[in-house]
Amino acid sequence: MMTTQPLRVGMVGYAFMGAAHSHAWRTAPRFFDLPLEPQLTAVAGRSEDGVRAAAAKFGWASTETDWRRLIERDDIDLIDICSPGDTHEEIALAALAAGKHVLCEKPLANSVAEAERMTTAADAAAQRGVLSLCGFSYRRTPALSLARRFVEQGRLGTIRHVRAQYLQDWLTDENAPMTWRLDKSKSGSGSLGDIGAHIIDAAQWITGQKIAGVSALLETFVQQRPLAGAMVGLGGHGDISADAPRGRVTVDDAAIFTARFDGGPIGVFEATRYALGRKNAMRIEINGTKGSLAFDFEEMNVLSFYDAADSPDAGFRRIFVTEPEHPYAGNWWPTGHGLGYEHGFTHQVVDLVNALADNRQPEPSFGDALQVQRVLAAVETSAKNSSLWQTV
């Protein structure tokens, strides 16, 4: 049964990720018995009107217009960082120094140097019982958690191949306006860091192996985009005037790289926001000597598994990951009733709260996220050097 000891949360940012995290903090204690009770104590954002509207919508008890005020408050135990990547280091370092636990969205930072400083601070804080986690929420998809279980059980044998893709199409319109995600100074990178980071983390986590080297290609298809406010109404639809001001896109639109893992497997990775028709196709396939598994987030409740001990013509079988014995599934709906995108964030809260109550390091740690950051940096270095093999 849930205790009455609170975990008082202060969140920075209230847009897409803020909404997902808010839902998770509210929902987790209603479906899981938690040793601490999450409380939505305060949310911070630069716009006073915007943050007040978000607090009312998502259920936060109070607001701040400066994240520093969250850290100064005595009624907050944990800082949840949902703001753009260029803010992560400063907020996380200040929170850890103030004795606040930290949940930081991925990628951990905008550079390896920033991620290294954050990891050093997190390791030191952990010695004082102040813990941190980087939010790679796809780890908490039940089907991917089951995939990791199969690998740990040896059901794939020796792993030979890893194929991972993250395909979206939301940028295919060349007149879609500039956002912070297309500005390297704010986002760190484009498709590579935004969605490629997820498949890098998932591949390393499921296989239990680290990427040791890469050979990469990055591409920016649209070099300039209309600035915010350049849209003009036209029959109820947005249009762009010929002389509308445009900003320069400073990140990659697509990333492709080959990789070698430290245990021997080879991998192929692709991340793009220009794959027309693919809305959120986060895919991974792993081939071993005894079996294979495959996953596509657009069918997130299904894990495809091939066991070489079966009849040779059996092919892959579909496992609908909704049984009570499957990861996380037993706390939700009856068998056959699938989960959605938001559940990964709820499971992340569950795992984080249990780790905090046990005073053990939550996973993925900042150190795990630093490894992903090093892979991202190696990909960028390789691409700048015409796909030259780059050691991580």
The per-residue pLDDT for range 52-103, each reduced to its tens digit, is 999 999 999 999 999 999 999 999 999 999 999 999 999 999 999 999 999 9
Question: Could you tell me if 104 and 81 are in contact, meaning their C-beta atoms sit under 8 angstroms apart?
Answer: yes
How far is Cα of residue 349 from the mean position of the Cα atoms in its chain? 13
| Angle of the 88-97 helix axis to the 112-126 helix axis, nearest 10 | 20
pLDDT at 236 > cutoff 50: no
pTM of this structure: 0.94
How does residue 355 score in pLDDT terms, banded at 50, 70 and 90?
Answer: very high
Q: What pLDDT does 198 receive?
A: 98
User: Out of 3.40.50.620, 3.40.1180.10, 2.60.40.10, 3.40.50.720, which CATH number does the structure's domain 6-138 have?
Assistant: 3.40.50.720
Q: What pLDDT does 387 receive?
A: 86
Residues 6 or more apart from 164 whose CB is under 8 A from it?
Answer: 199, 200, 202, 203, 267, 268, 269, 270, 283, 284, 285
- The string of pLDDT tens digits covering residues 184-217 is 999 999 999 999 999 999 999 999 999 999 999 9
| Whole-angstrom distance, CA of residue 325 vs CA of residue 80 | 30
Q: What pLDDT does 134 receive?
A: 98
Q: How many CA atoms lie within 13 A of 96 on its CB side?
A: 26
- The string of pLDDT tens digits covering residues 20-49 is 999 999 999 999 999 999 999 999 999 999
| Higher local confidence (pLDDT), 233 or 11 | 11
Mean pLDDT of the chain: 95
Q: How many CA atoms lie within 13 A of 129 on its CB side?
A: 4
Q: What pLDDT does 239 receive?
A: 61
pLDDT at 314 > cutoff 90: no
- The string of pLDDT tens digits covering residues 95-111 is 999 999 999 999 999 99
Mean pLDDT over residues 233-260, rounded? 78
How does residue 241 score in pLDDT terms, banded at 50, 70 and 90?
Answer: low
Would you identify the CATH topology of the domain 141-340+365-391? Dihydrodipicolinate Reductase; domain 2 (3.30.360)
Residue extents of the structural domains in the chain: 6-138, 141-340+365-391
pLDDT at 141 > cutoff 60: yes
Q: What pLDDT does 244 receive?
A: 79
Question: Could you tell me if 76 and 6 are in contact, meaning their C-beta atoms sit under 8 angstroms apart?
Answer: no
pLDDT at 233 > cutoff 50: no
